[in-house]
Structure 1
């Protein structure tokens, strides 16, 4: 009974987020077999390319349904750059790669059918050249099954570091028409 009530509350919270229009136009990954999640929102970005300032975290909120009971997951990021050929560059998320530590409505293990809210943070280092245009794939992998649970692909462009006052209003600037 308690699990059913919890699941209903989680679904309602997810639908509330969707209703608020917090969604980014992301695409299915090309290499990963992971499905698209129910919703993905890159903060400050609804229509890519998402503009990501150096020396700040990009924050991605994801809502997904657990395909099975899972207790051990890893978040992975890969930047895809197009020079003469496409180059895939894995990006180490360090402590942010421990998926279970960043659920906002539940904890591990997650149960089959559970609607999970997850927040991904990735720091944009200064060694990412300003005006770099790339595509980033974010995915969560079930370490026990060796399968990707979900994966999103989104175009980005790196901006120079933003002063605190500007970066606080950056999401409003990026979505203004």
Structure 2
């Protein structure tokens, strides 16, 4: 019986190491106040924000976090801030906002105190203007308390190479 448990544990650790090698950690910021910060966040295809996210697609985030209480239900909430002044809630489909069914590596709810889990957040990006946005992602529990929170800067781009940066050099034109 111990050999079987050791094999299962080894496979789980191997899968975790593989996932981290495929998607390195992304540099995210803390939310204001003393809200719990994730252990690590991996935005697929992005290490250093702003993360270029193609409009009309889904962007995958893997959020590793630990909890400090017994949690039976969690919901993802997103706030988007543009131009540094306009903050609005970003509505998520129910199947994306439901954290428990989207936990990875065999984890499930309830989650127990000190347990650390990974949530696969499949963030839908609508047909929005191509602008920079600061997103705050909160995972709240059944008591509407924040289990974890982080901020990530993104840039919404077109699908056909919209992440190219063009720079005009007016000084050269004057010569």
Aligned pairs, how many?
Answer: 159
CA distance in 2 between partners of 1:18 and 1:125 (Å)? 27
> For the residues of structure 1 that align with 2:40 and 2:120, how far apart are their CA atoms?
12
Structure 1 residues 46-85: aligned runs within 5 Å: 46-82=47-83
Q: Which runs of 5+ in 1 are unaligned?
A: none
In the TM superposition, 1:142-161 aligns within 5 A as 142-144=141-143, 146-161=144-159
Q: Structure 1, residues 1-28: CA drift from partner, whole Å, max 9, x if none?
A: x9x9889986776566556662000000
Q: Does structure 2 retain, via aligned residues, the 8 Å contact 1:11–1:115?
A: no
Structure 1 runs (4+) deviating above 2 angstroms are 4-21
2:139 equivalent to 1:140:
yes
* Secondary structure of residue in 2 paired with 1:68: coil
TM-score, with length taken from structure 2: 0.78
Could you state the TM-score of these two structures normalised by the residue count of structure 1?
0.77
Q: Tell me how far 1:29 sits from its aligned partner.
A: 1.0
Deviations for 1:87-140, whole angstroms, at most 9, x for unmatched residues?
Answer: 1111111121111110012111111111201100111111x102x011111110
Higher-Rg member (1/2):
2
Contact 1:38 1:63 in 2 (8 A): yes
Q: Which runs of 5+ in 2 are unaligned?
A: 165-175
